[in-house]
Structure 1
Amino acid sequence: MATGEATGIAIVGCGYVADYYRQCLGLHDGVLRLTGVWDHDPARLTAFSSCWGDRAYRSMDDLLDDRSCALVVNLTTPESHAEVTAQAIAAGRHVYSEKPLGMTLAEAERMRAAAREAGVRLSAAPCNVLGESAQTAWSAVRRGAVGRVALAYAELDDGMIHRADYRSWISRSGRPWPARGEFETGCTFEHAGYAITVFAAMFGPVRRVTAFSSLLIADKRTDPPLPHPAPDFSVGCLEFDGGVVARITNSIVAPYDHRMRIIGEDGTLEIKEPWDYASPVRLRKAAQGRLGRLMERRFGGALASRIAPVRATPFRGGRGKPTMDFMRGVAELASAVASGRNPRLDEDFAVHVTEVTEMLQHPERFERPATVRSSFAPIAPMDWAG
């Protein structure tokens, strides 16, 4: 494909999240071109293709026989990611996979090895690190807005979802939120990447993980009951190459709280919602003197000032629209392949995020603290982020 030509992509998996990706496709005209969609469930495939007016492939083989498709967007269930990704790689396609890349480090490493042998590129969600909010915080860190960073916190608590009215959560093409799959995959595999990717981009590879996870509420009120519910709480401390330490908490038990905080010697950067590209980044200076300590105890610190965003986001969610551009990671991969550069969220980065996530959800599989084997090259900020 020549530089400047839109990359042909095909979506595999037409479930709940596929509608969010499809809603964001129009933001990348001239970069991405949808060649068609496929799902092994005929009802899902018909509903999705009818809703969006997209071509429906007759089979996965039909999709892979279409040479206008250069990149497969794998939006199948997490347990199917490895199989579908391997099939696309074997057919010579680049792949962008929904998170997680694999359910184990071993799965992720096998896919990376297959991609390299086939001479194709592999990338994985989440892509929120490419969003305006994360890039603004990262820019502030680089220019020393909070001094030397020592610590970072991420709360990824989603509220008690099994008590919520999730059965009414229906996507644009009519797909219900996949409760059983979410509860069995686990909130850590579903959500930890939103924090790991941001912190790893800023601070480099994770070297050690000390983690704990637990299934606190086994009965999620599903019918029939879940045979293998995943841990619904995890907490881990991550030690990065550069000496920064981060604490990441995941749960679907504690009240909704998605705060991210980056703590330096001179102050703290705060992001209220890392899933929202327009979420403001605020700076609180470190408490000094009696008045500063009093404000910290009573109000959480000095009055926060808003950091000017590196650019105004062209993407605004709300009214049924997602709050993040799900297709930005796909567009980043396509642009990198077209220009011959290394993708920001490359296969090494995807493997690293998978390994750390597995350590958080399944600490019993590793020594404590667990030494992280994988690594990745430094990631460049977005070109518009300075």
Structure 2
Amino acid sequence: MGKPLNAGEHTRVGIIGCGKIVEQYLASFRRFQDLISLVAVADLDPARAQAVADDYEGVRALTVEELLAADDVELVLNLTIPAAHADVALKAIAAGKSVYGEKPLAATTAEAREVLEAAEAAGVLVGCAPDTVLGTGIQTACKAIDDGLIGRPISATATMVTPGHERWHPNPDFYYQPGGGPLLDMGPYYVSALVTLLGPIVSVMGAASHTRSERTIGSGPREGETVPVTTDTHVTGVLVHASGALSTLVMSFDAVKTKSPNIEIHGELGSLAVPDPNHFDGDVQLFALGAEDWQTLPVSAGYVDSGRGFGIADLAGTSPGSEPRAGGLLAYHALEVMESVLASAKSGAAVKIHSTAARPEAVELTTLAAQVAEASS
């Protein structure tokens, strides 16, 4: 799917979009200085880009156009709002650069397809969050399934419940506009995890609703200001996997809290409680057939102590002709699944999924030091 970025050398990264999420990537990049060199940042608000440059040695604050034209930027980390994901990715690809973006890959599958086709034609790589699936939580659960601890998987449940991001986010407007909502915002974590655990999805059914026509911002300089709600804020879906397993998905900005695990996987010989796919770690618990209680499994797979940005390091070491684990095909498949759940909610009919994505290659239990050594060998 493109040329490798890292052949024992640093991957030189430029960031477009310096909003709230950039802090988490910067924390990982500081740990990855033997793998990744952050060389430039850009934002529509020059002050935000300059603040990052002032805090990170050796980084230049540029305009978006300057960053895209910079010869020392090999990969663009796209942290813009979802509506701009495709436009920025296409411009980066046109400049000959690989792209790693925040989720979703694009606002629509049509735009996402254009990104993948452009990248293939240009011979560059496309990666996309979430890379949480590479952490020890989801990967330990994958290994438990692969080791046969629950037998043949039958079903899964995936639940994300929160009363809304406006309670903490200072600018939550886009969460409540078309292209936002709980499914497109948080669903990528859960759908990507379900595909990583159980394989690709072939059809879906959905239902959706919303309970409020406006939301009140709870923090920051706009505290007390209201924003309109023009998209569904509670979505339920049934996902049919190619394997025959059935997953039930509940994503809500309307409810308050759930007591159940974020993801449960049920098989003929046991059930797994899987940690929050918005996190990289967490306990995986097994209730085996005939057991008397849940057993916490030892951490056995995944990148140890990982965080946002590990998907970029993983992508940088992708072999020629191979798809990154947190790659564009998985992100496209997850986007089509989510878009189709929403389409099914409107039509009341099942929707066939046309794309597919191979279950990503497992991540062996790996520390950062071991990853650096392997990339440098």
* TM-score, normalised relative to structure 2: 0.87
Aligned length: 352
The match for 1:198 among 172, 188, 193 is 193
Confirm or deny: 8 A CA contact 2:262 2:274 kept in the other structure: yes
The answer for the alignment partner of 1:376 in structure 2 is 357
Q: Give the whole-Å Cα distance in 1 for the aligned partners of 2:225 and 2:344.
A: 28
Per the alignment, do residues 203 and 311 of structure 1 end up closer, same or farther by CA in structure 2, a change over 3 Å counting?
closer
Task: Give unmatched runs, 5+ long, in structure 1.
Answer: 168-176, 293-301, 316-323
The match for 2:344 among 355, 358, 363 is 363
Q: RMSD of the TM alignment (CA)? A: 2.2
Letter paired with 2:66? D
Q: Deviations over 1:104-156 (max 9, x none)?
A: 11111111111111111111111111111100000000111111110001111
The match for 1:183 among 169, 176, 179 is 176
Provide the secondary structure at the position in 1 that maps to 2:265: strand
Q: Does 1:344 align with 2:325?
A: yes
Q: By how many angstroms is 1:186 displaced?
A: 1.2
Task: Give unmatched runs, 5+ long, in structure 2.
Answer: 218-223, 367-377
The answer for the alignment partner of 1:298 in structure 2 is none
Per the alignment, do residues 63 and 132 of structure 1 end up closer, same or farther by CA in structure 2, a change over 3 Å counting?
same
Confirm or deny: 8 A CA contact 1:158 1:253 kept in the other structure: yes
Confirm or deny: 8 A CA contact 2:203 2:241 kept in the other structure: yes
Q: By how many angstroms is 1:269 displaced?
A: 0.5
Q: Deviations over 1:255-300 (max 9, x none)?
A: 23361101111211102422232310011124x5xxx8xxxxxxxx
Q: Give the whole-Å Cα distance in 2 for the aligned partners of 1:376 and 1:272.
A: 23
Letter paired with 2:102? E
Q: Does 1:15 align with 2:19?
A: yes
Confirm or deny: 8 A CA contact 2:82 2:106 kept in the other structure: yes
Q: More deviation in 209-218 or 153-162?
A: 153-162
Confirm or deny: 8 A CA contact 2:135 2:302 kept in the other structure: no
Per the alignment, do residues 375 and 2 of structure 1 end up closer, same or farther by CA in structure 2, a change over 3 Å counting?
closer
Q: Give the whole-Å Cα distance in 2 for the aligned partners of 1:204 and 1:139.
A: 14
Q: Does 1:84 align with 2:88?
A: yes
Describe how 1:160-309 pairs up with structure 2 within 5 A. 160-162=164-166, 164=167, 166=168, 177-184=170-177, 185-222=180-217, 225-257=226-258, 259-286=262-289, 302-309=292-299
The match for 1:29 among 23, 26, 33 is 33
Provide the secondary structure at the position in 2 that maps to 1:25: helix
Confirm or deny: 8 A CA contact 1:13 1:39 kept in the other structure: yes
Provide the secondary structure at the position in 2 that maps to 1:336: coil
Q: By how many angstroms is 1:72 displaced?
A: 0.5
Please list every run of at least 4 consecutive aligned residues from structure 1 whose deviation after the TM superposition is greater than 6 angstroms. none
Q: Does 1:41 align with 2:36?
A: no
Q: Give the whole-Å Cα distance in 2 for the aligned partners of 1:90 and 1:365.
A: 36
Confirm or deny: 8 A CA contact 2:272 2:286 kept in the other structure: yes
Confirm or deny: 8 A CA contact 2:303 2:365 kept in the other structure: no
Q: Give the whole-Å Cα distance in 2 for the aligned partners of 1:357 and 1:27.
A: 33
Q: Give the whole-Å Cα distance in 1 for the aligned partners of 2:23 and 2:101.
A: 15
Per the alignment, do residues 54 and 189 of structure 1 end up closer, same or farther by CA in structure 2, a change over 3 Å counting?
farther
The answer for the alignment partner of 1:329 in structure 2 is 311
Q: Give the whole-Å Cα distance in 2 for the aligned partners of 1:367 and 1:87.
A: 37
Confirm or deny: 8 A CA contact 1:209 1:356 kept in the other structure: yes
Per the alignment, do residues 157 and 44 of structure 1 end up closer, same or farther by CA in structure 2, a change over 3 Å counting?
same
Q: By how many angstroms is 1:46 displaced?
A: 2.3
Q: Give the whole-Å Cα distance in 2 for the aligned partners of 1:2 and 1:284.
A: 41
Confirm or deny: 8 A CA contact 2:126 2:328 kept in the other structure: yes
